[in-house]
Structure 1
Amino acid sequence: MFDGAVDSVKGPGKAGDLSIIFDRKKDRFLGVGLYDPDSPIRIRVLHQGSPIKIDTAFFADRIQAARKLRLPLLKKNTNGYRFIHGENDGLPALVVDVYAGVAVIKLYSPVWFPYLEELLPLIQRAAKADTVVLRLARVVNPVGGLTDGAVLAGKLTEPEVVFKEHNLQFLAHVAEGHKTGFFLDHRHNRKRVGELSEAQDVLDVFSYAGGFSVHALAGGAYRVVSLDISAPALEVARRNVALNFGADPRHEILVGDAFQELEQLARRKEDFGLVVVDPPSFAKREKEVRGALDAYRRINTLAVPLVKPGGILLAASCSSRVSNEDFFATVEKVLKRSGRGYTLLERSYHDVDHPIGFPEGAYLKAGYYRLD
């Protein structure tokens, strides 16, 4: 609930205080949430409708519901997954990712500090996690010993945890890595890329830690090029490949700006049977949407000439501010302007461990296009 929607607050409050939301004109209960006095999101709403008691049993029910939703995924040779997906699991500003028995709790608001001691055993039991690590978003200041990277339970012998995704191994730097240590949301698309990569040359643009690259190699690609501007990220990609295949000569690393490097590849007349374009979010605020759509237009315009006849372009977006309709319309306009015929093979969205509980929670989208 944003601050502009709050007409008045009775008495002072500190981060994490329970806030009863009611309609003063109709004298009617609306909901209950956690108060955040220093954030534009003034109340993190936990429940709406009829009154309810917020206690350990309430949190346990939410956590068990999240666990039940993810059970099918855990049967697929996978032990790296999102256990709690914030608002979408009814626990706003709280994310929990699990990597091979290590749970990483990430707080996007200080409202959860007062409840960590209560939540910790619930999360450990439900996630079967021996070790729990705390991560804090940049807007959240440490409280006491609750600092970014702190170990809340168990022991963390190594900051990098090896976990399994569809029988492939990856590294997650749970103490200092980006987000909670790895990007888990593209799991379904990574698996699909593996299925499409047999006997293909594959270009993984904005590859970061090489998730798509590893799956492509596992799927039987002849050659995989991991392209990213971050040399440290590409070193992690190299290590992820080595975890699964050793020093694989099929894997090449290309450090550079994606826009510039795609131009260079085109000048060299290189082409690929599969090109994955998965950039970071281009729009974190509403005013950036127009620029983001232009960036999607430019990067996919550069990618299209690199797709060989009969090859596939995977165009993805993780910008929540950019709607599915606008993103796919932008990509398909690029394809039409290229003069090449194309066939939409499929569109994909969130994997099961990233449920969508409200319209704004739908951020991930990807389109698979076969080009003539």
Structure 2
Amino acid sequence: MKKTARLKVKPSYVKSLKAGYPLISEDAILNLHEIKDEGTIVELFDEKNTFLGKGYYGKQNKGRGWILTRDPQEVINESFFHEKLKNAAAHREALFNDYETTAFRVFNGEGDGIGGITIDHYNHYYVITWYSEGAYAFKNDIIAALKNNVPKVKGIYEKKRFAGKGTYIEGDDFVEGEKAPEPLLVRENGIHFAVYLNDGAMVGVFLDQRDVRKKIRDKYASGKTVLNTFSYTGAFSVAAALGGAVKTTSVDLANRSRAKTQEQFSVNGIDYSEHDIIVEDVFNYFKYAVRKELSFDMVILDPPSFARSKKHTFSAEKDYTGLLEQAIAITEKNGVIVASSNCATFGMTKFKDFIDKAFKNAGSPYKILEEFKLPTDFKYHREFKEGNYLKVVFVKKG
């Protein structure tokens, strides 16, 4: 039986919680110090003892837990999690039945009703990411609910991201079932990806960019030269090559990016030697490209929200405009820049302001061709705008 605690909400936070905001922030609670154990069931009340919600206590960045229900009578137990997983699986029914796509998100935290966890599907292997010890306290109930509601669970892995500021805890990520082959091959709209479920915090492909990769392959890549910056394992480059790009150039600072990108090309039957894979700081590469008078028909710009190298510190909110200016300088006239950000601290309107400022600073006209947000499997909570983090804009340079 889980411990329960009664929390008093400060008056200034009552309105947002009543409106449905699901995160319990540290600053919102008057008596948070009374709770000792993560996973404690908490009931929230205002100063008039009006019930506001029920959830759990768990440290996740600045959050201290999540509201799971607005019904004071609802019990948070195995049946509760069963219902949430059942609804989540039903929302992804089309993806479960899609032969061309075997990698997608099954459960997206607060968007599916339980903040602090995500579950991804990789060809009948499942990866659960726990973002707090509080969420982890429900592990057995959630795994049971998962196995009862999704088809054919071959094996289950987990990622623990609660070592302060969401840091990944190293260790064996395998939980139960059979172990996945290494690499495990999955499909995304017919594109093959090699993933490693037990090889650190990230498995090898970011699933939230599925629609963007398909659009690059199907509409924009044919006959083009493509520069993919912050390329990770080269997923955008593979999509472009399969779409008929004459050449792709992938640039990433991580040493392992070269071998990983070569592998992604190979599993798609592409000769990686016909493409450039460069291990280099992207900021240095931009200077090199200007010096050598290189230019590209398409530049993909998908930096992390925050990054630090020996010479550069990058913050998307402060530095995206300047980064985009450098990309504009090496993009051909009538070329396309795929500007992307997963930074949760600003929305699409502000992101478009960054784009507008960058093109004005560069003295170049531009036209927005289309935009993307999260795909349908990355369900988000309408009151929790931080959860709707992805912004991608296809911009044509005039």
Partner of 1:52: 74
* CA distance, structure 2, for counterparts of residue 154 and residue 261 of structure 1: 44
Secondary structure at the counterpart of residue 42 of structure 1? strand
Q: Secondary structure at the match of 2:344?
A: coil
- Determine if the alignment matches structure 1 residue 240 to structure 2 residue 226: no
Percent of aligned pairs with the same residue? 25
Tell me which residue corresponds to 1:287.
Answer: none
User: How far off is 1:247 after superposition?
Assistant: 2.5
Map of 1:1-372 to 2, 5 A cutoff? 1-8=24-31, 12-23=35-46, 25-36=47-58, 40-74=62-96, 75=98, 77-128=100-151, 129-139=153-163, 148-195=171-218, 196-282=220-306, 291-357=315-381, 358-372=384-398
Amino acid at match of 2:64: R
Indicate if the aligned counterparts of 1:349 and 1:366 stay in contact, CA closer than 8 A.
Answer: yes
- Do the aligned residues in 2 keep the contact of 1:275 with 1:307 (CA within 8 Å)? yes
Cα distance in 2, alignment partners of residues 369 and 150 from structure 1? 40
Q: Secondary structure at the match of 1:263?
A: helix
The separation in 2 between residues aligned to 1:348 and 1:291, in whole angstroms, is 21
1:193 offset after TM fit, Å? 1.1
In structure 1, C-alpha distance between the alignment counterparts of 2:347 and 2:315, rounded to whole Å = 14
Are the counterparts in 2 of residues 124 and 130 from structure 1 also a CA contact under 8 Å?
A: no
Structure 2 contact 186–193 (Cα < 8 Å) conserved:
yes
Residue 269 of structure 1 aligns to a residue whose secondary structure is coil
Task: Report the Cα distance in structure 2 between the residues aligned to 1:258 and 1:283, rounded to whole angstroms.
Answer: 11
Give yes or no for contact 1:73–1:352 (8 Å, CA) kept in 2: no
**Which piece of structure 1 moves more, 97-106 or 159-168?**
159-168
Give the 3 Å change call, closer, same or farther, for CA 269–31 of structure 1 in structure 2.
Answer: same
| CA RMSD after TM alignment | 2.4
Q: What are the Cα deviations for residues 165-184 of structure 1, in whole angstroms up to 9, with x where unaligned? A: 11111122211233355311
1:26 CA drift (Å): 1.8
SS in 1 for 2:256: helix
Shift of 1:231: 2.0
Aligned CA distance change for structure 1 residues 100 and 361 (closer, same or farther; 3 Å)? same
Whether contact under 8 Å (1:173, 1:182) holds in the other structure is no
- Give TM-score, length-normalised by structure 2: 0.84
Q: Unaligned stretches of 5+ in structure 1?
A: 285-289
Q: How many residues align structurally?
A: 362
1:181 to 1:216, Cα distance in 2 relative to 1, 3 A = closer
Question: More deviation in 132-141 or 338-347?
Answer: 132-141
